[in-house]
Amino acid sequence: AAGVIQSPRHLIKEKRETATLKCYPIPRHDTVYWYQQGPGQDPQFLISFYEKMQSDKGSIPDRFSAQQFSDYHSELNMSSLELGDSALYFCASSSYKSTRNGYTFGSGTRLTVV
Amino acid sequence: SQELEQSPQSLIVQEGKNLTINCTSSKTLYGLYWYKQKYGEGLIFLMMLQKGGEEKSHEKITAKLDEKKQQSSLHITASQPSHAGIYLCGADIRNTGNQFYFGTGTSLTVIP
């Protein structure tokens, strides 16, 4: 069965550079969530989208932006990267019509800022 | 395969009833987290367990981590409509490296 696909799996960037993370939800899932997990920390919610509209916003820095496209995939854009942005970034997807099927998480993108 | 298995997948209970949700792993859990999520919103952290046999409570919700640190249960006493939502377990499973895994979630509906 298809799962949530995140790309790239690993990314190394220098300070002040820009990074774009991509998330491809499970087919027919219309909602996407982004989480950031720092080393030794539990995941922090960043932002979510439903039907290409932002549905909830968490602790996402102003340097980050995200959007959901017509094919429901989502991209997290991170600019002016800082060392503290080094983390594992998870994406999850779900279906509004089938919330009882739960949420599916991707394997994450590990971002290292040097 | 799923690193963390949650059961049941969905649960419908009458208000006032007790319920239990389980989270099971085939590997040792280092840091087991329970979250609640309402649709479209971010995860709400409930509690974290680290030591085998540890038990924590928050209001009417109690979570335990078994002695072998491979299973956790979340117990809600006298459920209320406000308890409705999706409950997710998450865990740090250190097999090949530091990676955090989530369970598939349990959808809870509480009927007034």
Instruction: Quick: pLDDT tens for A46-105.
Output: 998 988 998 888 889 999 999 999 999 999 999 999 999 999 898 988 776 655 455 677
- A37's CB contacts (< 8 A; 6+ apart) are A43, A44, A87, A88, A89, A90, A108, B100
Determine contact: B84 vs chain A, CB below 8 A: no
> What pLDDT is recorded for position B11?
95
Question: What average pLDDT does range B51-63 have in this prediction?
Answer: 91
CB interface of A with B, residues 75-94, below 8 Å = 88, 90, 92, 94
CB contact under 8 A, B10 and A92: no
Percentage of chain A lying above the pLDDT 90 cut: 52
Q: Nearest CB to B42: which of A37, A56, A102?
A: A56
CA proximity to B35, closest of B106, B92, B110, B112: B106
Does residue B94 register a pLDDT over 90? Answer: no
Cβ of B100 and A43 within 8 Å? yes
d(CA B69, CA A19): 37
Mean pLDDT, chain A, whole residue set: 87
Residue B56: pLDDT above 90?
yes
